[in-house]
Structure 1
Amino acid sequence: MSHGDTATDPVDAPGARRVGGGRTGLGAWAELLRLPALFTVPGDALAGAAAVPATPGRRTALAIGSSLCLYEAGMALNDWADRDEDALERPHRPLPSGRIVPAAALTAACALTAAGLALARCAGRPAFRVAVPLAATVWAYDLGLKRTPGGPAAMAAARGLDVLLGAAATGGPIRPALAPAALLGSHTLAVTTVSRHETRGGSPLSGLAALVTTGALTRLLPRREAGAIAAGTPARPTGTLGAVLAAAYAATAARPYLHATLNPSPPLTQRAVGAGIRATIPLQAALAARSGAPVSALLTAALGPLAAKFARKVSVT
């Protein structure tokens, strides 16, 4: 997560229109915060909540609010930290173009972080104990780790912690949420690795690794249902839903990854990163279905069309 899935700050997705038309105001802030990518966040907490025995409730909603704030804090901090680099490579971005001053972006990052931690505290001490290292990971990534070999791992850790935040807030032991956290973290690791240095062209090996990861995750998603059948217990109705959502995940990410593998040019690499970010939503939904939570799965899946609609106006990357 930059906190979210924006990886190492990829350039604007091909075909996306910039909001704001060079003016300051809400359009510039929507561009800075990459609002369409915000739709990839609630599914983290819902997938985590679905994995634990407790029923999602008010504290789960507070965890989602905390995740949203911390995600947007990462977005604002990301552009603040990269303002000099963006002045050379992406002068149209809100900070280098002067539509938002750097101090305002840093202030927003601090305020959103504080709000995220406050919401997590309201969700209970277990949630707060997860939110603190999550916030620390976001700041560490944006302020330095993303330019190191540990950058993709830090991004994956943030996504995994976000899943655990939903589980901790909902109640009960969070151990069952470790599996969905690891799967979402693996997906994030792949997307982040593809995005590194994408403004100058990617690497065929990173695209291939992401493609292999997508295939492996697609096979693993329904495994819990298969295990239940093997043990002699009836498959839950969510098995079919989970299979459909797993297929949607693969369909969203696989082809762009393949294209980036065959031709790791900047446009195709950027397109692959955008697809990887969008694929987070069906992956989260499939994980919720895998845990036997069809309502959470369908709610998460419904965020996909909304993300696509807003992405036509504001780039998700």
Structure 2
Amino acid sequence: MTARSVPAPPAGGRGARGAGRARAWAELLRLPALFTVPGDTLSGAAATGTRPNSRTLYAIGSSVCLYEAGMVLNDWADREEDAAERPERPLPSGRVRPGSALAAACALTGAGLVLAARAGRPALTVAAPLAATVWAYDLALKHTPAGPVAMAAARGLDLLLGAAATTGRTREALPSAALLGTHTLAVTLVSRRETTGGTSVPPLVALATTALLTSLVTRRRLPPADRADSAGPPLPTRTPPARTPAAADPAGPGSRPVPVPRPGSTAPARFTADTALRAALATAYAVTAARPYTHAALNPSPPLTRRAVGGGIRATIPLQAALSARAGAGVTAAVIAALAPIGRKYARKVSVT
């Protein structure tokens, strides 16, 4: 018998095809943008003044699934438009089938709702409208004037999901959700021109929004017990005793009275480690977002506009961290901030837009 040689696998065989499919799905899911998601939930928990717990982890899983469902559904809904404007995307290039993308979006949505239910009924109460907002945006609202508002609402609800899962309540997290939603609104306005460019107005609006948010997040948010409108009995007051001339001027004529702080007055802010952390994170947010916005405002070409959108998405992480630091959760802020370099590393391989 003559032994027959086994032919070597052809170049670009099964292994290469598998790697190609994995990269196509990574592009479809926009994996680097995934690192902007856990900070929503964590900053929502921080806004309530409570440490993250096991329910927070379920909320993070839910948030990740719903976010990625939106990413896949976005490309599925835009597959014909992308065929003309961005033929290299996974669906128009044929690397991912439309039916597979739609099935993945449905499966991810279902998984997100199941994980939210595991976090508790309050979390599911927020996750359900979040999922509905994601689908409404991708299928109906994206190209309407309501599109940016819907996207902003989705980010705000994502932050509230963390608060609801961690504590069962969302009221304390509403201001943080409004700030994060405002940032998302600005980024979405810019993204509507990422394939056509042509106007400096959206980047200029985003620049002004970034400046406003930077100013707001550097101010420390008082915990509920320190706020004037917090619940609780009023502080006791006492009537000062009548003073004799000697008591009124114990040091004699010409002496200055010692100022006595009134109840509820605020002492001058001291520069502390907490203040430094908020300032550093706010600066990181401003720098990350403002530079590409400025370039797009000066030259609103499609490549620079897409770069501005990417910068706005990456700036979400330092903003989330700054919101957590503003709520007094320095450790949570540091954990969120640590996600930024990881996302930046993978963004060099897979586009976030």
- TM-score (normalised: structure 1): 0.90
In 2, the alpha carbon distance for the partners of 1:202 and 1:220 equals: 31
Q: Is the 8 Å Cα contact of residues 194 and 309 (structure 2) preserved in structure 1?
A: no
- Counterpart among 78, 87, 90 of residue 94 in structure 1: 90
> Would you say 1:186 and 2:221 are equivalent positions?
no
> Would you say 1:49 and 2:55 are equivalent positions?
no
Which residue identity lines up with residue 293 of structure 1 in the other structure? A
Residue 301 (structure 1) shift: 0.4
Q: Is the 8 Å Cα contact of residues 53 and 172 (structure 1) preserved in structure 2?
A: no
Residue 44 (structure 1) shift: 0.3
Which residue identity lines up with residue 281 of structure 1 in the other structure? I
Within a 5 Å distance, the mapping from 1:119-138 to structure 2 comes to 119-138=115-134
Q: Give the corresponding residue for 2:153.
A: 157
In 2, the alpha carbon distance for the partners of 1:96 and 1:267 equals: 20
Q: Is the 8 Å Cα contact of residues 195 and 202 (structure 1) preserved in structure 2?
A: no
Q: Is the 8 Å Cα contact of residues 194 and 203 (structure 1) preserved in structure 2?
A: no
Residue 203 (structure 1) shift: 2.2
Residue 127 (structure 1) shift: 0.3
Which residue identity lines up with residue 89 of structure 1 in the other structure? E
Higher relative contact order (CA 8 A, sep 6+): 1
Identity %: 67
Q: Is the 8 Å Cα contact of residues 122 and 168 (structure 2) preserved in structure 1?
A: no
- Counterpart among 127, 143, 148 of residue 144 in structure 2: 148
Residue 239 (structure 1) shift: 2.1
In 2, the alpha carbon distance for the partners of 1:255 and 1:230 equals: 39
Q: Is the 8 Å Cα contact of residues 159 and 181 (structure 1) preserved in structure 2?
A: yes
1:186-218 superposed Cα distances (whole Å, 9 cap, x missing partner): 000000001113211142111111000000000
> Would you say 1:271 and 2:267 are equivalent positions?
no
- Counterpart among 194, 208, 213 of residue 204 in structure 2: 208
- Counterpart among 255, 261, 266 of residue 231 in structure 1: 266
Q: Is the 8 Å Cα contact of residues 194 and 269 (structure 1) preserved in structure 2?
A: yes
Residue 130 (structure 1) shift: 0.1
Name which of structure 1's ranges 73-82 and 22-31 shifts more when overlaid on structure 2: 22-31
In 1, the alpha carbon distance for the partners of 2:169 and 2:86 equals: 45
Across the two proteins, how many residue pairs are aligned to each other?
Answer: 298
> Would you say 1:300 and 2:340 are equivalent positions?
no
> For the pair shown, which has the larger CA radius of gyration, 1 or 2?
2
In 2, the alpha carbon distance for the partners of 1:83 and 1:225 equals: 44
> 1:249 is paired with a residue of what secondary structure?
helix
Gap runs ≥5 in structure 2: 1-15, 227-263
Which residue identity lines up with residue 53 of structure 1 in the other structure? G
Cα distance change, pair 202–115 in 1 and its aligned pair in 2 (3 A): farther
Q: Is the 8 Å Cα contact of residues 196 and 202 (structure 1) preserved in structure 2?
A: no
Q: Is the 8 Å Cα contact of residues 122 and 165 (structure 2) preserved in structure 1?
A: yes
Q: Is the 8 Å Cα contact of residues 52 and 177 (structure 1) preserved in structure 2?
A: yes
Q: Give the corresponding residue for 1:166.
A: 162
In 2, the alpha carbon distance for the partners of 1:48 and 1:150 equals: 25
Q: Is the 8 Å Cα contact of residues 54 and 172 (structure 1) preserved in structure 2?
A: no
> 1:147 is paired with a residue of what secondary structure?
coil
Gap runs ≥5 in structure 1: 1-19
In 2, the alpha carbon distance for the partners of 1:202 and 1:154 equals: 24
Q: Give the corresponding residue for 2:231.
A: none
In 1, the alpha carbon distance for the partners of 2:199 and 2:148 equals: 15
- Counterpart among 59, 63, 73 of residue 63 in structure 1: 59
Residue 232 (structure 1) shift: 3.8
Q: Deviation above 3 Å: which 4+ runs of structure 1? A: 20-24, 225-230, 232-237
What's the RMSD between the two structures over aligned residues? 2.0
- TM-score (normalised: structure 2): 0.81
In 1, the alpha carbon distance for the partners of 2:299 and 2:217 equals: 29
Which residue identity lines up with residue 302 of structure 2 in the other structure? P
Residue 144 (structure 1) shift: 1.5
> 1:200 is paired with a residue of what secondary structure?
coil
Q: Is the 8 Å Cα contact of residues 222 and 327 (structure 2) preserved in structure 1?
A: no
User: Is the helix fraction higher in 1 or 2?
Assistant: 1
Residue 143 (structure 1) shift: 0.3
Q: Give the corresponding residue for 1:139.
A: 135
> 2:91 is paired with a residue of what secondary structure?
coil
- Counterpart among 63, 78, 85 of residue 74 in structure 2: 78
Residue 158 (structure 1) shift: 0.1
Cα distance change, pair 230–281 in 1 and its aligned pair in 2 (3 A): farther
Residue 224 (structure 1) shift: 2.4
